[in-house]
Amino acid sequence: MLIRGGRVIDPSQGIDRHTDVWIANGRIAFLGDGREMLQQQPSGPPPRILDVPGCVVAPGFLDVHTHLREPGFEYQETIASGLAAAAAGGFTGVAAMANTQPVNDHPAVTELMLRRAAAVGGTRLYPIGAVSAGLAGKELSEIGSMHEAGIVALSDDGLPVMNARLMRRAMEYGRMFNLPVLSHCEDQGLAAGGVMHEGVVSTALGLPGVPEAAENVMVYRDIQLAAMTGAHVHIQHVSTAEAVKLIRRAKAQDIRVTAEACPHHFTLTHEAIQQYDTNTKINPPLRTAEDVEAIKAGLQDGTIDIIASDHAPHHVTEKEQDYESAPSGIIGLETSVGLSLELYHQGVLSLAQLIAKFTIHPARLLGTARGTLAVGSPADVTIIAPDQTFVVDVASLHSQSRNTPFLGWQLRGTAVATIVDGNLIFERL
Amino acid sequence: MLIHASPHEVHEIDHVEDTIDFRGRDLLGMEDFTAAEIAAILDTVASFKEISERDIKKVPTLRGKTVINLFFEPSTRTRTSFEIAGKRLSADVINISVSNSSMSKGESLRDTADNLAAMRTDALIVRHKSAGVPHMLARYLPSPVINAGDGAHEHPTQALLDLYTIREKLGTLAGRRALIVGDIASSRVARSNIIAMRKMGMQVSVCAPLTMLPVGIEKWGVDYTSDFDAALQDVDVVMMLRIQRERHGDVLFPSLQEYSSRYCLTSARMRRAKSEVLVMHPGPMNRGVEIAPEVADGLESVILQQVTNGVALRMAVLYLIIGGV
């Protein structure tokens, strides 16, 4: 395959130039002038040519925070529908969280997820193993055998590991296998009953709030545990200005901490909840304009390494309950790239900075050699059109669920082609 | 004794409608109403209050209208008040009580709304433990929705009947000073009253232990303190809120005894207040906890008049929203 006429940006190699990408045998064969490559092509069937003028050709995008809901909640999403949504959103790989039913706390579940994903083909699935058995926060899950089965990180995401001693042991034990711990930072005592950011809007709406401190105290705890154990802790879905500060300071102290932010947390504030739209109910909650600015600043200066979707499908009947009863979470795989490109349009991030947060940084977290266009690497490629309008509507979504506050939005920029191992798995060129 | 509204009264009410038309509108919260609209509603109450004083307490105003009282949360006073209000206007009032547990797991709010719409109801009165439910139902229902209390958000008819009672007793609202005491953070009565009182030009203070003051109260344009004795001085109205020992499993104060010692409106404390102060309580009261029995039953208390006015106010609201043709 020849990808011709695009602007190739690969932060892993510091490349940003107009050139062509030649793919052979599922790997990146050559970056350079496509005409030369075509002339050198031995006889045989002509290669597939993708002409992508005006587009950006990047390593395959990775989403480190996805809920695929299978096994157990197939009415919300299946591995097949979730991976289809991922491909349509420009992702060549997604990390699937462990809060399935049964929980991914055992190699049998890990193997099932990988087998299903392989049968579906397309976007790759990176399983995340639970920290604790049954996400109960009491004892460690089968970490070693899950590692053998293919997990790439540990997380009880959705629930915090409240017991600091268990968290310490998970970090120590996971470190033997180079498994980072992805932490959902929320003090359950402080957050109890809360359904939105605690502040003037929650007071006006009469909804119970989650104070920022619920996140901050846990971010600080996990940074301290990472410093103590030498383990790699990754702070998920940063939502507060103070958390950004704590992470910035920890990085300056060379503590092994990385962090992700979700598009909704740098796009919307708690003001979006005014009409009690349950598609604005997310955990951690939408916070203030100051928090949004702090997250953007954290993305800009590198404090926040990764942009992740926290794709969390819920059935429409679950979201049509009252605000307090409705489950938290929104789908994000198909809006993540478009919403994030707004940071480029606003001048917050260069395209190279933005792409690094979807490619080489997530690849390092997940311990995969992908996330690069280095010659010889598996040919995972995401092609984006930064100025092409993408309207979020029900008909355009591939996810089985529809729970997004961005329905009807016109996003500036979208992924237009997704290539995994040299196979074009999605395109809207 | 007449059994229907006199032509004169109807004429007066029509005059109000000439300026502000409430027909078909939702009553979701005081946030949505202007001072002029609030005044117009209050001006309509007196003629309905008179009906309740008659021997035969019924007028045909809403004959043929169907009003649903949909209560997802137990309520005696408010539900009965709305029911009596509807029946005195000859509306067909249907009470539906849904226990929280069975509803939250079953039918979605949208289905509830769609079914009520399919039955061609004329108005829905709804109470729910979760804030925003009346607003969500109103989005799906073509007929008007009246909020009878949603979580810790709003309870607009309570605020309106409180304003009516204050105006009835004191003559004016603007410039009057009100003090609201108790669990402000989780009180829909406090929220609706603060909003409505400020719109009507009243000065509002709130008093509670710091554990019961909501985050961001300083942005609400009210004075706040934890010192009840100091706060009581110079107010025209003191409104006591019911205390719940626990909220969301949250411990907000050490003991009822300690709470009472600091925040119970006793006759000793009443001596610090103006002699003509109005004592109000939205009910149900915990006698001896937030209000001493002798104060609840005392000369300054207008608590039962609030209940009487509640029926008239709700009659007025129903009339304004679904009455007239």
What is the third-level CATH fold of B7-154+307-322? Rossmann fold (3.40.50)
CATH assignment of the domain containing A43: 2.30.40.10
Percentage of chain A surpassing pLDDT 70?
Answer: 99
Residue ranges making up the domain that contains A215: 60-366
Q: Quick one: which of B106, B103, B105, B32 has its CA closest to B70? A: B103
pLDDT at B108 over 90: no
Q: Which of B100, B153, B184 to mutate to test the interface with A (most CBs of A within 10 A)?
A: B153
pLDDT at A127 over 50: yes
Tell me the pLDDT band of B74, cut-offs 50, 70 and 90: confident
Q: Are residues A6 and A93 in the same domain?
A: no
pLDDT at A22 over 80: yes
pLDDT at B106 over 80: no
Q: Are residues A354 and A249 in the same domain?
A: yes
Whether A259 is in a domain gets the answer yes
The DSSP string of A15-67 is: EEEEEEEEEETTEEEEEE-HHHHHHHPPSSSPPPEEE-TT-EEEEPEEEEEE-
Name every chain A residue with its beta carbon within 8 A of the beta carbon of B136. 276, 322-323
By C-alpha distance, the chain B residue nearest A273 is: B132
Least confident of B74-78, B88-92, B203-207: B74-78
B250 Cβ under 8 Å from any chain A Cβ: yes
Q: How many CB atoms lie within 10 A of CB B70?
A: 25
- Look at residue A43 in the predicted model and tell me its pLDDT: 66
- Look at residue A13 in the predicted model and tell me its pLDDT: 98
Q: Are residues A328 and A422 in the same domain?
A: no
- CATH 3.40.50.1370 location in chain B: 7-154+307-322, 156-305
Q: What is the residue-averaged pLDDT of chain B?
A: 90
Whether A373 is in a domain gets the answer no
Q: Are residues A44 and A179 in the same domain?
A: no
Is A192 within 8 Å of B248 when comparing Cβ atoms?
Answer: yes
Choose the closest CB to B215 out of A193, A209, A323: A209
- Look at residue A46 in the predicted model and tell me its pLDDT: 77
Q: Are residues A113 and A148 in the same domain?
A: yes
User: A273-289, pLDDT tens digit by residue?
Assistant: 999 999 999 999 999 99
User: B259-309, pLDDT tens digit by residue?
Assistant: 999 999 999 999 999 999 999 999 999 999 999 999 999 999 999 999 999
User: A71-120, pLDDT tens digit by residue?
Assistant: 999 999 999 999 999 999 999 999 999 999 999 999 999 999 999 999 99
- Give the span between the Cα atoms of B190 and B137, in whole angstroms: 23
Q: Chain B 261-280, CB below 8 Å of chain A: which residues?
A: none
How far apart, in Å, do the first and last CA atoms of chain B sit?
A: 26
Helix (H, G, I), strand (E, B) or coil at B70: strand
pLDDT at A191 over 90: yes
- Look at residue B250 in the predicted model and tell me its pLDDT: 73
What's the mean pLDDT in A216-236?
Answer: 98
- Give the span between the Cα atoms of B49 and B309, in whole angstroms: 7
Q: Are residues A152 and A299 in the same domain?
A: yes
pTM of the model: 0.93
Whether A251 is in a domain gets the answer yes
B155 Cβ under 8 Å from any chain A Cβ: no
User: A152-184, pLDDT tens digit by residue?
Assistant: 999 999 999 999 999 999 999 999 999 999 999
A387 among known catalytic residues: no
pLDDT at A324 over 60: yes
pLDDT at A306 over 70: yes
Q: What is the residue-averaged pLDDT of chain A?
A: 96
- Give the span between the Cα atoms of B98 and B103, in whole angstroms: 6
- Look at residue A247 in the predicted model and tell me its pLDDT: 98
Whether A68 is in a domain gets the answer yes
Question: Per the structure, how many domains does chain A have?
Answer: 2
Q: φ, ψ for residue B142 (rounded to 5)?
A: -70, -30
What's the mean pLDDT in A370-395?
Answer: 97
How many residues does the structure list for chain B? 325
Q: Are residues A42 and A69 in the same domain?
A: no
Q: Quick one: which of B185, B264, B178, B188 has its CA closest to B222? A: B178
The interface predicted TM-score (ipTM) is 0.89
Q: Are residues A255 and A155 in the same domain?
A: yes
Stronger pLDDT, A417 or B102, i.e. the higher one: A417
- Look at residue A38 in the predicted model and tell me its pLDDT: 79
Whether A11 is in a domain gets the answer yes
Catalytic residue among A20, A187, A310, A421: A310
- Look at residue B11 in the predicted model and tell me its pLDDT: 38
User: B139-153, pLDDT tens digit by residue?
Assistant: 999 999 999 999 999
Q: Are residues A14 and A103 in the same domain?
A: no
Whether A406 is in a domain gets the answer no
CA distances, A416 to each of A207, A241, A382 (Å): 40, 33, 8
CATH assignment of the domain containing A162: 3.20.20.140
What's the mean pLDDT in A278-303?
Answer: 98
- Look at residue B113 in the predicted model and tell me its pLDDT: 87
Whether residue A49 contacts residue A2, with contact meaning beta carbons closer than 8 Å, is answered with yes
pLDDT at B14 over 60: no
Q: Quick one: which of A296, A328, A332 has its CA closest to A191? A: A328
Q: Are residues A358 and A386 in the same domain?
A: no
- β-pairing, B278-280 vs B237-240, is parallel
Q: Are residues A51 and A145 in the same domain?
A: no
- Give the span between the Cα atoms of A38 and A35, in whole angstroms: 5
Is B130 within 8 Å of A325 when comparing Cβ atoms?
Answer: yes
Q: Are residues A51 and A177 in the same domain?
A: no
Choose the closest CB to A321 out of B104, B153, B249: B104
- Look at residue B9 in the predicted model and tell me its pLDDT: 41
Whether A372 is in a domain gets the answer no
Whether A405 is in a domain gets the answer no
Whether residue B170 contacts residue B146, with contact meaning beta carbons closer than 8 Å, is answered with no
User: B156-305 — its CATH code?
Assistant: 3.40.50.1370
Interface A-B: count of C-beta contacts within 8 A: 75
